[in-house]
Amino acid sequence: MSPVRASAFVINDFGSSGQCLQMQATAGPVVYKIVGVQTFNIFDGMFASSTVLNAFKGLPRGTSALVDVKAGADAGAVARGIESELFEQGADAVTTKALLDQAYRANRAFLSVIDLLMRMGLIVGVLALGIVALRAIIERRHVIGVLRAIGYKRWQVMSGLMTEAATTSFVGVIVGMAVGLMMGFIFYRQSDTKVPFGVDWPSILGAIGAVFIAVVIVTLGPAWRASRLPPAEAVRYTE
Averaged pLDDT for residues 96-124: 82
Of residues 169 and 6, more confidence is placed in 169
What is residue 60's predicted lDDT score, i.e. its pLDDT? 61
What is residue 61's predicted lDDT score, i.e. its pLDDT? 63
Given a contact cutoff of 8 angstroms between Cβ atoms, the answer to whether 161 and 222 are in contact is yes
Instruction: Order the strands of the 28-37 sheet from edge to edge.
Output: 8-12, 28-37, 20-25
pLDDT, tens only, 16-68:
777 787 777 777 787 888 877 776 666 667 777 777 777 777 666 666 777 88
pLDDT, tens only, 130-154:
777 777 777 777 777 777 778 888 8
- Give domain status of residue 53, yes or no: yes
Of residues 192 and 105, more confidence is placed in 105
pLDDT at residue 120 greater than cutoff 50: yes
CA distance 172 to 40: 35
The structure's pTM equals 0.54
- Give domain status of residue 71, yes or no: no
Averaged pLDDT for residues 81-103: 79
* 127 and 49, same domain (yes or no): no
Averaged pLDDT for residues 173-180: 86
* 122 and 14, same domain (yes or no): no
pLDDT, tens only, 190-237:
766 667 888 888 888 888 888 888 888 888 887 787 777 777 665 665
pLDDT at residue 96 greater than cutoff 60: yes
- Give domain status of residue 209, yes or no: yes
pLDDT at residue 175 greater than cutoff 80: yes
What is residue 6's predicted lDDT score, i.e. its pLDDT? 47
CA distance 76 to 74: 5
Buried b (16+ CB within 10 A) or exposed e, 46-79: bebeeebbebeeeeeeeeeeeeeeeeeeebeeeb
* 143 and 229, same domain (yes or no): yes
What is residue 234's predicted lDDT score, i.e. its pLDDT? 59
The domain total for the chain is: 2
* 226 and 141, same domain (yes or no): yes
* 105 and 209, same domain (yes or no): yes
Radius of gyration of the chain (CA): 31
pLDDT at residue 178 greater than cutoff 80: yes
- Structural domain containing residue 20: 8-64
- Give domain status of residue 95, yes or no: no
